[in-house]
Structure 1
Amino acid sequence: MPARFKDLCLDANDHQALADWWCVAMGYVRKDVHEPPRDGSVRPAEWPVPLVDPAGRGPLIWVNPVAEKKAVKNRVHFDVDGDTEELLGLGATLVRRKDDEIGWDILADPEGNEFCVFAPR
């Protein structure tokens, strides 16, 4: 086996704000809050922000600071089970509604990263 899945990573201009947005949207928490370092240290604000699913079901997500703006469609994206209207209320934007061609909504987070929203099962 040459590789195995490790983490998901998102690039963001304001990585702190986008980390907070995904925490609210998906019920994740910042890893340093959920699992504080044993030595009591504090993660510097300019470092990437690790997010964890407190229930332990989802993957670790890193929100990484970058200088460049998002310019093109994502080639990799999140698929989530969720409520489109609630996500729009949190600040997501609608890219495309479910229609005869696709059975899910496509949204973008506050920095423009696309993700697909499926109705909860």
Structure 2
Amino acid sequence: MTARFKDLCLDAGDHHLIADWWCAAMGYERREVAEDWPVDWPVPIQDPEGRGPLIWVNPVPEFKAGKNRMHIDVQGDVDELVALGAKVVRVEDDEIEWTVMADPEGNEFCVSAP
């Protein structure tokens, strides 16, 4: 084996805002970091039940441009995600069995019914 999956990373202009958004959307929580952890360092968020991967929300200076080459898939309620600030990009139709959405900074993710 050459490599093994470790963590997932998500780029964001306002990495604290997006980390908190994903925590609210997925029931994640911020992972504890050292007291002297610089505010401009990535924010690690985790599934409190330990089932999902650790996600690092990384600060980047540029805005998202173009389609994500990799994205997160979740099971959830589209209306609840919209209420949290997500946008619907494409609804389920004859070609896809999920809804494509975007977080408040435009990072796409797919939502399937629970």
Once the two structures are aligned, what percentage of the paired residues are identical? 67
State how 1:52-91 maps to structure 2 within 5 Å.
52-91=46-85
Q: Which stretches of structure 1, 4 residues or more, deviate above 2 A after TM superposition?
A: none
SS at match of 1:76: coil
Give the superposed CA RMSD. Answer: 0.9
Which position in structure 2 is the counterpart of 1:29? 29
TM norm structure 1: 0.91
Cα offsets for 1:91-121 (capped at 9, x unmatched): 000100000110100000001000000000x
How far the C-alpha of 1:45 sits from its partner, in A, is 1.1
Which position in structure 2 is the counterpart of 1:46? 40
Structure 2: runs of 5+ lacking an equivalent: none
Cα offsets for 1:39-65 (capped at 9, x unmatched): xx2422111000010001000000000
Which position in structure 1 is the counterpart of 2:3? 3
- 2:14 and 2:96 map into 1 onto residues whose CA distance is 31
SS at match of 1:9: strand
- 1:56 and 1:30 map into 2 onto residues whose CA distance is 13
Q: Which has the larger radius of gyration?
A: 1
- 2:58 and 2:51 map into 1 onto residues whose CA distance is 22
Structure 1: runs of 5+ lacking an equivalent: none
TM norm structure 2: 0.97
Which amino acid counterpart does residue 103 of structure 1 have in structure 2? Answer: E
Alignment pair present for 1:97 and 2:91 = yes
